[in-house]
Amino acid sequence: MIEFWYEFGSTYSYPAAMRVERLAQSAGVTVAWRPFLLGPLFHEQQGLNDSPFNAFPVKGDYMWRDLQRVCDLEGLPLVHPSQFPRNGLLAARVAICGLEDGWTPAFSRAVYQANFVDDQDISQAEVLAPLIASVGAAPDAVLAAAASDPVKSRLKAHVRQAQERGLFGAPSFVTADGELFWGNDRLEQALDWAVRHQTLEQA
């Protein structure tokens, strides 16, 4: 098992979300999808009120170029969103709602497609509704549940757990033995670690 921690506004979470299930399946590792919010961590840990890619333009310029290269290598389309970062709060709450029924991965990929390919405002319920429908769930019921206190609390709990695990960015991967890996480019190493640990447990 590996935890996949992601934020819908996060750029490198997009390629990670698109490839994590494929690579994990090849490795024989299951994926626990963990939507969370980066904003509270950026603020608490670094005093930031915006993405570091906006706060420090030289890092942002590099990131967009590097992300393009990463997507090119993966064969993933990329359209620079007209707004960055987009607020992923509502989408994260919706993603929480799908965990039990198993549609969170497909919904999450659809949200990344909307944000980073179709340039849609994923903070809006009317943008998310057709994405919810596309994975076979009922938009009205899900959006109502997403606005409920229990779901809000579960997302807050995810943010707390992220802090407890030492996360400071997204995507991040945490193995069953608590090993933390940060960044889309650490996915392979995280899976290798998970496999080696599983083998040791079984030995």
Give me the phi and psi of 173, to 5 degrees please.
Answer: -125, 135
CA–CA separation, 30 and 40 (whole Å): 28
Q: Does 23 bind its own copies (CB under 8 A)?
A: no
Among 46, 68, 148, 153, the residue binding its own copies under the rule CB under 8 A is 46
Among 50, 61, 126, 140, the residue binding its own copies under the rule CB under 8 A is 61
Q: Does 74 bind its own copies (CB under 8 A)?
A: no
Among 21, 74, 121, 185, the residue binding its own copies under the rule CB under 8 A is 185
Residue 34 beta carbon to its own copies: minimum distance, rounded to whole angstroms? 17
C-alpha dihedral, 149 to 134 to 88 to 52, nearest 10°: 160
Q: Does 49 bind its own copies (CB under 8 A)?
A: no
CA–CA separation, 150 and 144 (whole Å): 11
Query: What is the CA angle 87-65-50, rounded to 5?
Result: 30
As given in the structure block, the two tokens for residue 22 are: 């494929």
Per CB under 8 A, residues contacting its own copies are 45-46, 56, 58-59, 61-62, 65-66, 69, 73, 166, 168, 180-182, 185-186, 189
